[in-house]
Structure 1
Amino acid sequence: MTVTESIKDAAETVKEAVGLGHGHSAPTRPATREEMSANKVPLPYRDSCAHLLIPLNNCRYDNFYLPWRCMDERHSYEKCQYEEFKLRMKKMEEIRAEKNGARSN
């Protein structure tokens, strides 16, 4: 195995590890209403990314909200929020295309 092949293999391994369980594309399992209620997730944040917000809030609480302690959890949650935003914008563009470009007033 050459050096470039091993680098490519390592890069693929990292991409797979980052993709699993993080973000919107491969959620482990959506949080149930009971879990969100038990973890006191505010109503505006009870969306498809709540399964990532629960461990983030627990990490923040355990580490006295130190910003450098929960970077991985925060990144996962923010990535999920961004992916959800992109899906909403895509849906909005589809609706706008159906209306021949007309905007709602």
Structure 2
Amino acid sequence: MGAHLVRRYWGEPEPDPLTMPTSPIGEQFQERGVMVATAEQMDMANLPLAQRDYCAHHLIKFMKCKRDMWPNILACTDERHEWEYCQHLDYVQRMKQYERERRLLVRQARKEQNGSRVTSVRFLLSEWRNKSFNYFIIKISLMVMPIFCVFFFFFFFVVCAIVASFIS
């Protein structure tokens, strides 16, 4: 939850869902289903525009079953399951394609930044090679940490003693 907010905060590129797929490989990634229901069938079934997708033929069957079995609409669970499963598969495919496009954009942005970051990479490598400095910092932190802990506990006990003297 909130992963898209983190991506926006860090400034990672995101694909535009209205113009996907942008890469030629992306077009081969998702083989969209073939529209089984024709426009005339969807018009005759009075399907809303929002539901005229690749699963419309399942929805038409489901609506026909509900109409034919009117008092007992629970008899149409198989048709409803087929339609919902088709909707789920379509959603999963769209999310996979969106994530793939996002990763391609991130990879492309990283490749563009690598050219400008050659000097910073060299600087990091030189710092990494300077192991004596790193070991010095680690030794200092290991020496200071016990002293800090002793000081903290001493301060804590002194404060507790002062508070206890005021209470009693």
TM tier, smaller: 0.5 to 0.7
Higher helix proportion (structure 1 or 2): 2
Number of matched residues?
76
Offset at residue 66 of structure 1 (A): 3.6
Offset at residue 80 of structure 1 (A): 0.2
Offset at residue 28 of structure 1 (A): 9.0
Amino acid at match of 1:57: M
Q: Please name the residue that 1:33 is paired with.
A: 39
Q: Please name the residue that 1:16 is paired with.
A: none
TM-score, normalisation: structure 1:
0.65
Q: Please name the residue that 1:97 is paired with.
A: 103
Deviation beyond 6 Å, 4+ runs, structure 1: none
Q: Please name the residue that 2:93 is paired with.
A: 87
Highest CA radius of gyration, 1 or 2?
Answer: 2
Amino acid at match of 1:70: C
What root-mean-square deviation, in Å, do the aligned CA atoms of Structure 1 and Structure 2 show?
A: 2.3
Query: 1:35/1:98 Cα in 2 relative to 1: closer, same or farther (>3 Å)?
Result: same
- Note the alpha carbon deviations across 1:20-64, whole angstroms, 9 max, x for none: xxxxxxx79610111100111111000000011101001111222
* SS at 2:75 equivalent: coil
- Note the alpha carbon deviations across 1:4-32, whole angstroms, 9 max, x for none: xxxxxxxxxxxxxxxxxxxxxxx796101
Match of 2:48 among 25, 42, 51: 42
Amino acid at match of 1:76: E
TM-score, normalisation: structure 2:
0.41
Match of 2:75 among 69, 74, 85: 69
